[in-house]
Copies of this chain bind each other. A is one copy, B any other.
Amino acid sequence: MRFGCMSAACMVMVLMPALALGAKAAAGPAATQPSVEQWGVFDQSFPGPATGNPFVDIELSARFTLGNQTVTAGGFYDGQGQYRIRFMPGGQGQWNYVTQSNCDQLSGLTGSFRCVAATGQNHGPVRVQHVHHFAYADGKPFVPIGTTCYSWVQQPDEIEERTLASLRASPFDKVRMCLLPGKQPPLFYPYAKDDAGKFDPSRFNPDFFHHLENRIEQLGRQGVEADLILFHPYHKGEMQWFDEMDDAGDDRYLRYVVARLSPYRNVWWSLANEYGQVKNKTDADWDHFFQVVESADPYGHLRSIHNAARIYDSNKPWVTHASIQNGSAVADFGRAVLYRELWPKPVVYDEVCYEGNIDRRWGHLSGREMVERFWFGTIAGTYVGHGETFSNPQKISWTSEGGELMGQSPPRLAFLRKILESGPPEGIEPIDETYQTHVGGKAGEYYLVYFGTEQPTTWKFALPRDPPNKNALTEGMQFHVDVLDTWNMTITPIERVFTTDKLVESVFPAVDDPAIPLPGRPDIALRIERIK
């Protein structure tokens, strides 16, 4: 079906024989775009029909080729008679492209650009690596220290700028954020209104997306991944229908979003927040949405879905990692690892209640509790997300609107991030998790022993054998020990070398059975690194 070409604007083009004959050089801007960084954004606009409903009528995509490699990227209508193709090149060299469309004016347009090496903080998109962990496309490990600011891109500019500044000064390298408006009317809506003043689910609002894309780009420059929440159950009033679009409307929304946003390397897809509470959507719908996103996104950005009421099956092949809401699962030893054992995928406890002081039981964790939850998750080989809900005169909260961080946890999470980024690049694995719930690390090389609220004054050196890696740790290895105060952010080296002695059941003590003095406070951990 070539609806688009029946529109008046397109008909004009069909009548111009020179342009109707297959390949046509794209408009000027392509020539002026000299080069694009690997994993940067190639962005090219084309004029086209503005009449009818281009969001529905016109199909547009482009085939990008580099040597033997061909990638098809979706295009989209950007309003005011402008169409746009965006593309994230994954390899360096000369890329050529040709457009396809059901509108002749937009079909067969060609162009090319040179893709050059990434610079600075551009490490490419984040992928799963080492089964339960993450790394950028260039191999640099990515340690998610995430936070949530649901509606931060729907605020006055002044607040959004403060949010960006707060993130810059924070340890957070991933932010969960919604596209669709929540309970409060936003400044921008993703949909346009029809002549009767009602939102039209078949017409997007390009201004909303321009603003959003600018914020996603800014996050990217700051080294923050944008974990984009595509659906949620919080619509009220005139936004209620965002929850209740028909199947075509849902798919159109997903395809438009993916075409526009997937070329930004720092995008992750979170199919929904609290998906089980979105009315009128079954698990089959969520399976379908995952598949729409997976097939529309040529870059394979990370895909997850966030639970309430029920937990989506993370074994399904289109789920790249589990995104779990459960504060209890990281509130003590031995819990977080249980989910990790089920799925050969990363587990991110993305909502674990919030640091704050509001009168809701999910909104008044102490900073200490928040930090502790990160450590419980860490030693279990999983990841944890932060959130913050302090009541304040401005009546905005970090997790809802952004603004300033007020809590005590962020500097301590920066300390944790520093520890992890200087740890094994493969990430922290649980070590003998059924019997040694205090210990994570890399068998034979690196261990974190965490005590939580326990206040030991001494610790007898003993490293557990890792059952699946029985030979990784042996007698006669030498280790250095640092005492970490996870709250006061200090690292105190122990000035002696610990040499593993003979195995006793499943644990290696050290020669002379030395005891390490500890400060008798909570929030203490040990970092134990092999030196020989």
Q: Which A residues are closer than 8 A to B by beta carbons?
A: 309, 311, 313, 315, 326-329, 331-335, 338-339, 341-342, 359, 361, 433-435, 437, 468, 505-506
Cα distance, A339 to B327, chains bound together (Å): 15
- 26 A-B residue contacts at CB 8 Å? A309-B468, A311-B342, A313-B313, A313-B315, A313-B342, A315-B315, A326-B338, A326-B341, A327-B434, A328-B334, A328-B433, A328-B435, A328-B437, A329-B334, A329-B338, A332-B332, A332-B334, A334-B335, A335-B335, A335-B338, A338-B339, A339-B342, A342-B342, A359-B505, A361-B435, A361-B506
Copy number in this complex? 2
* B434 and A328 within 8 A (CB): yes
A-B complex: 4 closest residue pairs judged by Cβ atoms:
A328-B434, A338-B338, A313-B315, A328-B334
A354 to chain B, nearest CB (A): 14
Closest Cβ–Cβ distance, residue A258 to chain B (whole Å): 27
Give the one of A326, A434, A505 with max B CB within 10 A: A434
| Alpha-carbon separation in the docked complex, A103 to B435 (Å) | 57
Question: In the complex, what residues of B have CB within 8 A of residue A338's CB?
Answer: 326, 329, 335, 338-339
The answer to whether B361 and A505 have CB atoms under 8 Å apart is: yes
- In the assembled complex, which residues on chain B have CB atoms less than 8 Å from the CB atom of A433? 328
A329, B329: Cα distance in complex, Å: 12
Residues of B within 8 A of A333 (CB): 332
The docked-state distance in angstroms from the alpha carbon of A506 to that of B335 is 23
Shortest CB-to-CB span from A13 to chain B, Å, is 52
Closest to A316 in B: B315
Residues of B with C-beta under 8 A to A341? 311, 326
Known contacts A332-B333, A334-B335, A341-B311; is A326 also within 8 Å of B434 by CB? yes
- A335 and B434 CA atoms in complex are apart in Å by 12
Q: Besides the contacts A313-B313, A342-B342, what 12 more A-B pairs have beta carbons closer than 8 Å?
A: A309-B468, A311-B342, A313-B315, A315-B315, A326-B338, A327-B434, A329-B338, A331-B334, A335-B338, A359-B505, A361-B435, A361-B505
- Rounded to whole Å, the gap between the CB of A349 and the closest CB of chain B is 11
